[in-house]
Amino acid sequence: MSDHTSAAATAAHSHAGRYLVVWAALMALTALTWGLSTIHIPGLAGVAVALAIAMVKGTLVALFFMHLWDQPGPNRLVLVTSLVFVAVLVTLPLLDNATRFPLANPPDAETAPQRIRDAILNEGPPAPAHAPAHP
C-alpha cells in the first residue's frame, strides 16, 4: 500500500527546511493582510481578500505543518469533508437571512427598513441613551 511508504518517508526525512520556508511565508502573509486592512478595501472585496489570504495561510499550515502533503488519503479526506460541511453551515443560514422577508429579520438589523430601524433606535429598550447619533 502506498500509505506505508509515505508514512515511512515522513518518519525518515527531515523537514526542517520546509518548516522554515512555510513559517516565513506565514509571517509575510500575516503582515500582508494586516497591511491591506489599513488601506480599507471597501465592502465585500476587503472581506474576500482577507479570507483568501487566511485560506492560503490555512492551507500552508494544513499541508506542511500538519503533514497532509505526504500523508495517506483518509486524513486528507477527513479535513476536506469537514470543510465542505463548514461551507454548508456558514452559507445556508446566511442565504436565509439574505433572502428573507425583511421584517422577519431582527427588528433593528441594518437590512430592515430605515423607518422601522429609526423608530426602534429612538424608543426601543436595547438602545443606549445616546442612540439617535447613529448614521
Burial annotation 44-79 (CB, 10 A radius, 16+ → b, else e): eeeeeeeeebeeebeebebbbeeebeebeeeeeeee
* Residue at 2: amino acid letter: S
Alpha-carbon distance of 22 to 132, in angstroms, equals 49
114 binds another protein (CB under 8 A): no
Other Cβ atoms closer than 10 A to 41? 13
Instruction: Give the contact letters, 61-100, x = binds to another protein (CB under 8 A), - = no.
Output: xx-xxxx---xx-xx--xx-xxx-xx-xxx-xxxxxxxxx
Cell numbers given for 35:
497591511
23 binds another protein (CB under 8 A): yes
Restricted to residues 29-58, the positions that interact with another protein (CB under 8 A) are: 30, 33-34, 36-37, 46-47, 50-51, 53-54, 57-58
Which listed residue (32, 69, 116, 131) binds another protein by CB under 8 A? 131
Residue 29 C-beta: closest distance to another protein, Å: 9
Closest separation in Å from C-beta 111 to another protein:
6
Kindly state the cell numbers that stand for 131. 442612540
Q: Nearer to another protein by C-beta: 23 or 113? A: 23
Smallest gap from Cβ 48 to another protein, in A, equals 9
How many residues form the binding site for another protein (CB under 8 A)? Answer: 80
Taking the C-alpha atoms of residue 100 and residue 46, their distance in angstroms, rounded to an integer, is 25
Of 79 and 113, nearer to another protein (C-beta) is: 79
